[in-house]
């Protein structure tokens, strides 16, 4: 039996929610368990249905998506949030990530990328398009203090292959895309990513990229 990914849709436009539900319903492993028109309603439904992933709009009445994401991470930390919005606004990107979102997508994203993002989020992975990842990295570089050589700071050094994969992670690509680029199995990529996270002492891909940037590894 296919394990369903339970999804909560949050957007103040009912027509958009209906279209998104129809789009997701064609995938056997997706189950839209609820729809909310604002952040407060999203919190109530999330508590009731315990979704795996929430697709969260940013600009909504009553409570916006950033506030709702922050509250969700306090009350349901296992629930993953993907911000889905019309606007590629820098402040929204950074605020969404600070609030605990694991992804940031524009509403004109392709269905394939949307599906990929939902599945990545359900696995506990970050997912952002390269343009968004570039914004995050640029902002981190602007704010970070002068760094130092990081090799000596690691309990165990990264292998040449791990360094190669880490550089690709910084571009925002998925494990599947890394596997295709390096001509190796996706499972092998996953094992390398797990090792990278362990050596950098971080919990997820985004933290790994930021930590590697801090250590001058990329």
Q: What is the pLDDT of residues 98-118, one digit of tens each?
A: 788 888 888 888 999 899 999
What average pLDDT does this structure show over 23-31? 95
Which of 71, 3, 4 shows the shortest CA–CA distance to 36?
71
Q: What is the pLDDT of residues 143-184, one digit of tens each?
A: 554 444 455 567 788 999 999 999 888 877 788 889 999 999
CB-based contacts of 175, cutoff 8 Å, min separation 6 = 125, 186, 189, 190, 193
What local confidence, expressed as pLDDT, does residue 89 receive?
61
- 31, pLDDT greater than 90: yes
- Give the chain's domains with CATH numbers: 5-128 (3.40.50.2300), 144-214 (1.10.10.10)
Q: How far is CA 175 from CA 20, 74, 145, 152, 187, in A?
A: 25, 29, 30, 28, 8
What local confidence, expressed as pLDDT, does residue 181 receive?
92
Indicate the pLDDT class of residue 37, thresholds 50, 70 and 90.
very high
What average pLDDT does this structure show over 11-37? 95
Average per-residue pLDDT in the chain?
85
Indicate the pLDDT class of residue 88, thresholds 50, 70 and 90.
low
- 138, pLDDT greater than 90: no
What local confidence, expressed as pLDDT, does residue 202 receive?
82
- 38, pLDDT greater than 50: yes
- 206, pLDDT greater than 90: no
What local confidence, expressed as pLDDT, does residue 208 receive?
82
Q: Give the CA radius of gyration of the chain.
A: 18
CB-based contacts of 202, cutoff 8 Å, min separation 6 = 208, 211
Cβ-contact 54, 81 below 8 angstroms? yes
Q: What percent of the chain is helix, strand and coil (3-state, nearest 5)?
A: 55, 15, 35
Q: How far is CA 40 from CA 64, 114, 172, in A?
A: 9, 24, 31
Cα 192 off chain centre by: 19
- 141, pLDDT greater than 80: no
- Which of 2-6, 128-132, 202-206 is modeled with the greatest confidence? 2-6
Overall pTM surpassing 0.85 (yes/no): no
What average pLDDT does this structure show over 113-135? 80
Cβ-contact 88, 110 below 8 angstroms? no
What local confidence, expressed as pLDDT, does residue 146 receive?
47
């Amino acid at each position: 039996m296919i394990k369903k990914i339970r999804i909560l849709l949050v957007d103040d436009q009912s027509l958009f929610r209906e279209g998104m539900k129809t789009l997701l319903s064609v995938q056997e492993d997706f189950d839209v368990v609820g729809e909310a028109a604002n952040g407060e309603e999203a919190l109530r439904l999330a508590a009731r249905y315990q979704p795996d992933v929430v697709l969260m709009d940013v600009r909504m009445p009553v409570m916006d998506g950033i506030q709702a994401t922050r509250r969700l991470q306090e009350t349901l930390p296992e629930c993953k949030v993907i911000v889905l919005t019309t606007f590629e606004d820098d402040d929204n990107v950074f605020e969404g990530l600070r609030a605990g979102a694991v992804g940031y997508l524009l509403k004109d994203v392709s269905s394939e990328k949307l599906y990929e993002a939902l599945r990545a989020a359900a696995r506990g992975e970050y997912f952002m398009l390269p343009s968004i990842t570039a914004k995050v990295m640029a902002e981190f570089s602007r704010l970070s203090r002068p760094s130092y050589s990081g090799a000596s700071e690691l309990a165990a050094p990264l292998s040449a292959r791990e360094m190669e994969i880490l550089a690709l992670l910084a571009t925002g690509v998925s494990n599947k895309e890394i596997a295709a680029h390096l001509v190796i199995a996706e499972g092998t990529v996953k094992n390398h990513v797990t090792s990278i996270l362990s050596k950098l002492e971080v919990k997820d891909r985004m933290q790994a990229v930021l930590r590697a940037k801090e250590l001058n590894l990329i």
